[in-house]
Amino acid sequence: MVGSVQQQSHDVFTSLTYRPAVVKRWVAECRGVAAFDDDITAFYDRGEEAGRLGDWGRLEMLRTQVLLERYLPAPPAVVLDVGGGPGAYAVWLAEVGYEVALVDPVELHVTQARAAGVARAEVGDARALPFADESVDAVLLLGPLYHLVDADDRRRALAEARRALRPGGIVAAAAISRFAAAIDGLQKGHLRDPQFEEILERELPDGRHLNPTRNPSWFTTAYFHLPDELAAEVRAAGFELTTLAAIEGIGQWLPDIDDWLDDPTHRAALLRTIARVETEPSLLGASPHLLAVGVKR
Ligand SMILES: C[S@@+](CC[C@H](N)C(=O)[O-])C[C@H]1O[C@@H](n2cnc3c(N)ncnc32)[C@H](O)[C@@H]1O
């Protein structure tokens, strides 16, 4: 009985492309996942995510590509980009020969991903993937784990990734470091505002980043991991951990990062240096983003 309800909502979900939020919520409830956080939708509905990786997220994207090139199965392979946003990675992966499907709960992102050329992009949630068991070679979770504040939801997202993966398939799961907001808050000056310090004070002990001000410069509802916690969550979901690496690592805190990235020789030296210390435990928490890669055995 439960199976048939799940199957029914699964089909509806699969065909859900550009529907009102109320329908999405109904589908989520049928499938037993909590509704998607309205603050997160409001944050991304500003439409700014589409330009991020070409602007202040350049190093994040370059380094994520380095890591994915190293750990993904060679193309052609089927990659599911869960929380793929406006499609920057999906477009790149399709260009280099992968078959890519993107899922994201933010309708604007799905529309932008399609417009960017992602052939298969659907509204969906990491906690209830509209894909059959053992149907894909790799799952990217570059976003969902840091927007799912409750540990049960993150467990569910990882379990869904595992279910959809073939044996031997790869999960690449990103997290935001517990200390990213403290470092960023000083670097960008947010900590001159006592309201930001209140947010930071609350989040440092337990990782829950809640931004009641809705000031978009201070991000939105999120969970900020300790490095070991990300590794533990991936292992607890039944994956063999291949690596836990800093994404931007020590490169993030360069004041002249664009100069380093603009010059091909300097960029190569920067990337080599970050890679040399990417798994150093004493430096992991200083990287804004972390990537855990696991294999389904
Ligand atoms: C910062 S963006 C990252 C987009 C892209 N993956 C990247 O790495 O640039 C985070 C993304 O995670 C998505 N997201 C948040 N909660 C999610 C969930 N429960 N399931 C799937 N995606 C989610 C957001 O809608 C957003 O597109």
Task: Identify the pLDDT of residue 57.
Answer: 96
162-200 pLDDT tens trace: 999 999 999 999 999 999 999 999 999 999 999 999 999
Is 234 within the bounds of a domain?
yes
Give the number of domains in the chain: 1
Confidence category of residue 9, pLDDT binned at 50, 70, 90: very low
> Is the pLDDT confidence value at 13 over 90?
no
Q: Does residue 109 have its Cβ closer than 6 Å to ligand 1?
A: yes
Is 24 within the bounds of a domain?
no
Is 22 within the bounds of a domain?
no
Cα–Cα distance measured from residue 145 to residue 108, given in angstroms and rounded to the nearest whole number: 20
> Is the pLDDT confidence value at 5 over 80?
no
CATH code at 176? 3.40.50.150
Is 4 within the bounds of a domain?
no
Cα–Cα distance measured from residue 182 to residue 235, given in angstroms and rounded to the nearest whole number: 27
Cα–Cα distance measured from residue 242 to residue 295, given in angstroms and rounded to the nearest whole number: 7
Task: Identify the pLDDT of residue 253.
Answer: 86
> Which atom of ligand 1 is closest in space to residue 41's alpha carbon?
25
Task: Identify the pLDDT of residue 113.
Answer: 98
Q: Does residue 248 have its Cβ closer than 6 Å to ligand 1?
A: no
Confidence category of residue 33, pLDDT binned at 50, 70, 90: confident
Cα–Cα distance measured from residue 278 to residue 210, given in angstroms and rounded to the nearest whole number: 29
Q: Which comes out higher in pLDDT, residue 189 or 26?
A: 189
Is 9 within the bounds of a domain?
no
Task: Identify the pLDDT of residue 28.
Answer: 57
Q: Does residue 83 have its Cβ closer than 6 Å to ligand 1?
A: yes
pLDDT mean over 239-264: 96
pTM for the model stands at 0.91
Is 28 within the bounds of a domain?
no
CA 84 to ligand 1 centroid distance, Å: 6
pLDDT mean over 221-250: 98
Cα distances from 77 to residues 84, 166, 250, in angstroms, run 17, 11, 32
Mean per-residue pLDDT over the chain, rounded? 91
> Is the pLDDT confidence value at 114 over 50?
yes
Task: Identify the pLDDT of residue 266.
Answer: 97
Share of the chain above pLDDT 90, in %: 87
Task: Identify the pLDDT of residue 6.
Answer: 35
Task: Identify the pLDDT of residue 32.
Answer: 60
- CB within 8 A of 59, min separation 6: which ones? 248, 251, 252, 257, 261
> Is the pLDDT confidence value at 248 over 90?
yes
Is 104 within the bounds of a domain?
yes
> Is the pLDDT confidence value at 96 over 80?
yes
> Which atom of ligand 1 is closest in space to residue 153's alpha carbon?
19
Task: Identify the pLDDT of residue 18.
Answer: 34
List the domain range (segments joined by +) for residue 234: 37-296
Residue 296, both tokens: 């389904």
pLDDT mean over 128-146: 98
Q: Identify which of 45, 80, 82, 104 to mutate to test ligand 1's pocket (most ligand atoms within 8 A of the CB).
A: 104
Residues 80 and 138 sit within 8 Å (Cβ to Cβ): yes
Is 18 within the bounds of a domain?
no
Task: Identify the pLDDT of residue 249.
Answer: 98
CA 41 to ligand 1 centroid distance, Å: 10
> Is the pLDDT confidence value at 11 over 60?
no
Q: Does residue 106 have its Cβ closer than 6 Å to ligand 1?
A: yes
Residue 56, both tokens: 């202040």
Task: Identify the pLDDT of residue 36.
Answer: 84
